[in-house]
Amino acid sequence: MVAAAASATVATGAALTAVLAGAGTSAADPVSLTLNYSCPFPLIGTQTLQIVISADIPTTVNVGEPTPAFTVTAVATVPPTATQGLTLVGAATVEGSAQASSTVTAPEATIPVTVPATIPVTPVPASGSFDTVATGDAPSLTFTQAGQATITVGDILLTLHPKRADGTDTGLGVFDSQCTQVAGQNNTLANITINGGTTTEPTTTEPTTTEPTTTEPTTTEPTTTEPTTTEPTTTEPTTTEPTTSEPSTTEPTTTTSNPPTGIDYSYALEGDSVVKKLNATVPLSGGIDANLDLASGNFTADLSLEPSKLKATLFHFIPITAKVAFEQAGKTTGTLAGGVLNSTSHTTIKLPSVKVFGFPISKSPKCQSSEPSEINLTSGPGFDPLAGGDLSGTYEIAPLENCGPLTGLISPLATGPGNTIDVTLSPKES
């Protein structure tokens, strides 16, 4: 998300600098525009990124007069949820590139512009929101027709690369995010009046005069026709004044994205557990589906373990085999904070079949620990929720019950503290 903010900031500034005109015949006026973008990201889902774009843009320019450059500044606010998402994968910095779209609508043409920009290395704080700032200089632009030019800001494509403190990749790798402008916003950054153009010269019709005709009298008085004079007709010049729309003062509609209630993760699980009393290793396999609250770092999960088998030698010469099954009592809970994952599960251990020398001494499906074992697992530092990782811990097995007539013999073989478990979580393929 930091990357999103930095990208949007740099890209928006770059796009605007590529299309905006500078100070023309009047002094530049400060303008500012706040826009929200909906940006999809791995790990944290779709987030709303707010960007404030500001610049000193002239209110008027002249036709045919090149304009000097000016500076555009874009400030993006990175929300706390995004910061938390980056810290979860161990990101210390983000960098990358962006392509931002903008449009200049002028009397002679509508010009769509997409400009690539580089996102500089931006530090990721431990928590909270923060701002990124980008600036750029607009090139000269020359208008050919009088009227009004409108500058609008469009969507942004981000390519982001979070990195750890040592410069290595996080589980996110390099990814793209197509940020779409939230609907219902005023995305007009500025309106510019373009002065000048062609003026129609007045057309004047010279007066037409008819000379008088006189007939010499015989017996009648001469008839004289008074001259007819047509007054000159003058066509006044028609001048189309540019229509100037003042920048809208309506505040942009702000869409606030509520932080997600949780991000879902699914892992395959492989490992083993060592039952201390028997010094026997039980292979473990299964899966876990977790939902992580980014704001708190707390998660809940559904853990499932496949049935397994136990093989041991009692007193170094008595072979014992048993089928082992696991039943979860409630959800697995835990935290992911500071790069360390801690989880707690409550699991009832079942022994539906126990054999000694190959002969069954218990075949009860109800043979199980009298209460669930509390299994606490902890990862090493730098646990990446996208890549998974290793977990380990210890647990105690409660006395067994419902194992038939030999329950009193079977129970002491497995019960007690100091049992260990080591597992590896890896992302499930979708």
The model's pLDDT over 360-395, given as tens digits with 9 standing for 90+, comes to: 899 999 999 999 999 999 999 888 888 889 999 999
In the chain, pLDDT over 70 holds for what percent of residues?
74
pLDDT score of 140: 66
Residue 166 has pLDDT above 90, yes or no: yes
Instruction: Name the band, by pLDDT with cuts 50, 70 and 90, for residue 116.
Output: low
How high is the pLDDT of residue 121?
86
pLDDT in the model for residue 74: 72
| Of 209-223, 306-320, 402-416, minimum mean pLDDT range | 209-223
Q: Is the pLDDT of residue 287 over 50?
A: yes
Dihedral in degrees, nearest 10, Cα atoms 334, 336, 342, 346: 20
Would you place residue 218 in the very low, low, confident or very high pLDDT band (cuts 50, 70, 90)?
very low
Q: How far is CA 292 from CA 3, 64, 69, 158, 334, in A?
A: 22, 59, 48, 25, 9
Residue type for 199, please?
Answer: T
**pLDDT surpassing 50 at residue 22:** no
Q: In the predicted model, is pLDDT for residue 203 greater than 70? A: no
What does the alpha-carbon distance between residue 247 and residue 82 come to, in Å, rounded to a whole number?
A: 33
Residue 292 amino acid letter: L
| Residue 127, burial from CB neighbour count under 10 angstroms (0-12, 13-18, 19+) | exposed
Question: SS3 for 337?
Answer: strand
Q: Output the pLDDT for position 242.
A: 35
pLDDT tens sequence across 37-49: 998 887 777 888 8
Burial of 195 (0-12, 13-18, 19+ CB in 10 A): middle
Q: What is the pLDDT of residue 430?
A: 59
Sequence-distant (6+) residues with CB within 8 A of 276 are 416, 417, 418, 419, 420
Sequence-separated (6 or more) residues with CB below 8 Å from residue 54: 30, 31, 32, 33, 72, 73, 74, 75
Give the per-residue pLDDT at 3. Answer: 36
Model confidence, pTM: 0.63
Q: Which range among 132-146, 193-207, 261-275, 338-352 has the greatest average pLDDT?
A: 338-352
Q: Please determine, for residue 319, whether its predicted confidence score (pLDDT) is greater than 70.
A: yes
Greatest mean pLDDT among 96-105, 278-287, 404-413 lies in 278-287
Q: Could you give the CA distance from residue 54 to residue 69 in angstroms, rounded to a whole number?
A: 15
Highest mean pLDDT among 90-94, 242-246, 258-262, 362-366: 362-366
Structure confidence by residue, pLDDT tens digits, 172-198 = 889 888 889 999 999 998 898 999 854
Look at 98-112, 150-164, 194-208, 355-369 and tell me which has the smallest mean pLDDT: 194-208
pLDDT at 102: 82
* pLDDT confidence tier of residue 209, bands split at 50, 70 and 90: very low
Task: Quote the pLDDT of residue 326.
Answer: 96
Range picked from 1-5, 214-218, 241-245, 280-284 for highest mean pLDDT: 280-284
pLDDT of 231 over the 50 cut: no
